[in-house]
């Protein structure tokens, strides 16, 4: 694969309906406008139905190299979802069997909450229909492992949509611990077996490892002030993946074609799991966006997800198909989602004779989510 690496100033040439001259882009003004302190971005385009990709890398910021490690934030969930679907593919568990039948973590509150807990399935978790809060306590705190889990609303049922979309990292952690219990393997052992080793991701790990010393970048506040290095106390599938764009894009390239999943299981993963008109989804009902199992979807076929760990932001989009196209970035600034509209507009330009890409609606979806 041919990699084009530029430090601080870089340009991108897209294969699109515009000429090469028209689609050249200098990203430095976008970074400067929004006070971005460091970013790794990559555009990957499949070569002639070959399952091989041309990758162009773009690095910006003091001290940022192509192997600098960032917090991937909630992109952790997508990689874990692939692991979960791999285990489902092997018949380890069923998506619609209550997780309590496999593992009781002992953390759910009594009363109505315990009733709701016995309803939870892997499908609820991966499609964010658990009804759970995002976290019962700060997930990196000493208190979190024994904190009591309560529900915002009951899990989704076909006959009653009151448990519609409720984004929850807590649900992912519960599914993680269930799969660890069933396999007798840790999260990182599972990730190494199903993703890190087969896809060639040497700079990726859930949580802290000693080799990251001197390799990680720190996050930055809105004004550019750096914060301390974060060393996660435990591996958590919801937010603790440490990686670099060069690693994570290898996973995305495999995901674009289903990776090592069976066709049936991959189709299950990328099938919308509920109607946008239902319940809590109503704020987004006019947007061409839905949710699969662990990944966001658009009506025109894109897979996507965003990540937000406060002073670290991240994003990816995959347009699979005959010649798949991927855009991905990790950023060490609290301002990292402010650049998303500009990144998408430049990477997926709208041509006069073509309909606007649905992925351009995602920044508004994310804005609605934070309200």
pLDDT at residue number 354? 60
Q: Is residue 353 part of a domain?
A: yes
Q: Is residue 207 part of a domain?
A: no
Give the whole-angstrom CA distance, residue 326 versus residue 319: 6
The boundaries of the domain holding residue 365 are 3-75+212-370
Q: Is residue 200 part of a domain?
A: no
pLDDT at residue number 2? 26
> Is the same domain home to 357 and 221?
yes
> Is the same domain home to 225 and 333?
yes
Q: Is residue 252 part of a domain?
A: yes
Q: Is residue 197 part of a domain?
A: no
Location of structure tokens 């950023």 = 331
Query: What domain count does the chain have?
Result: 2
> Is the same domain home to 62 and 102?
no
Q: Is residue 202 part of a domain?
A: no
> Is the same domain home to 355 and 332?
yes
Intervals of the chain under pLDDT 50 = 1-25, 161-162, 279, 282
> Is the same domain home to 58 and 152?
no
Give the whole-angstrom CA distance, residue 213 versus residue 123: 37
pLDDT at residue number 15? 39
Task: Provide the CATH number for the domain around residue 34.
Answer: 3.40.710.10
pLDDT at residue number 126? 97
Strand partners, 326: 44, 318
> Is the same domain home to 222 and 329?
yes
Q: Is residue 143 part of a domain?
A: yes
């Amino acid at each position: 694969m041919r990699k084009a690496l530029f430090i601080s100033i870089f340009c991108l040439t897209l294969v699109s309906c515009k000429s090469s001259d028209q689609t050249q882009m200098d990203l430095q003004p976008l970074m400067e406008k929004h006070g971005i302190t460091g970013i790794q971005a990559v555009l990957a385009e499949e070569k002639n139905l070959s399952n091989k990709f041309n990758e162009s890398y773009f690095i910006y910021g003091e001290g940022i190299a192509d192997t600098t490690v960032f917090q991937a934030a909630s992109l952790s969930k997508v990689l874990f979802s692939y692991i979960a679907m791999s285990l489902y593919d092997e018949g380890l568990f069923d998506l619609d069997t209550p997780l309590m039948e496999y593992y009781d973590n002992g953390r759910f509150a009594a009363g109505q909450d315990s009733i709701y807990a016995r309803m939870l399935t892997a499908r609820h978790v991966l499609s964010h229909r658990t009804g759970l809060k995002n976290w019962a306590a700060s997930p990196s705190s000493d208190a979190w492992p024994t904190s009591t889990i309560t529900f915002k609303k009951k899990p989704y049922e076909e006959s009653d949509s009151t448990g519609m979309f409720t984004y929850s990292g807590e649900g992912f952690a519960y599914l993680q611990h269930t799969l660890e219990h069933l396999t007798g393997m840790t999260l990182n052992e599972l990730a190494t077996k199903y993703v890190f080793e087969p896809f060639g991701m040497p700079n990726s790990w859930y949580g802290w490892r000693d080799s990251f010393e001197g390799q990680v970048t720190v996050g930055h506040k809105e004004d550019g002030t750096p914060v301390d290095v974060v060393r996660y106390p435990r591996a958590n599938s919801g937010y603790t993946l440490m990686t670099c764009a060069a690693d994570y894009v290898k996973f995305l390239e495999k995901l674009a074609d289903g990776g090592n999943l069976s066709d049936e299981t991959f189709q299950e993963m990328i099938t919308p799991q509920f109607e946008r008109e239902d319940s809590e989804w109503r704020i987004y009902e006019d947007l061409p966006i839905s949710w699969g199992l662990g990944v966001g979807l658009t009506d025109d076929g894109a897979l996507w997800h965003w990540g937000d760990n406060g002073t670290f932001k991240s994003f990816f989009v995959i347009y699979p198909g005959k010649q798949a196209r991927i855009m991905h970035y990790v950023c060490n600034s609290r301002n990292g989602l402010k650049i998303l509209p500009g990144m998408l507009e430049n990477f997926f330009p709208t041509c006069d004779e073509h309909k606007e890409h649905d992925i351009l609606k995602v920044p508004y979806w994310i804005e609605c989510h934070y309200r």
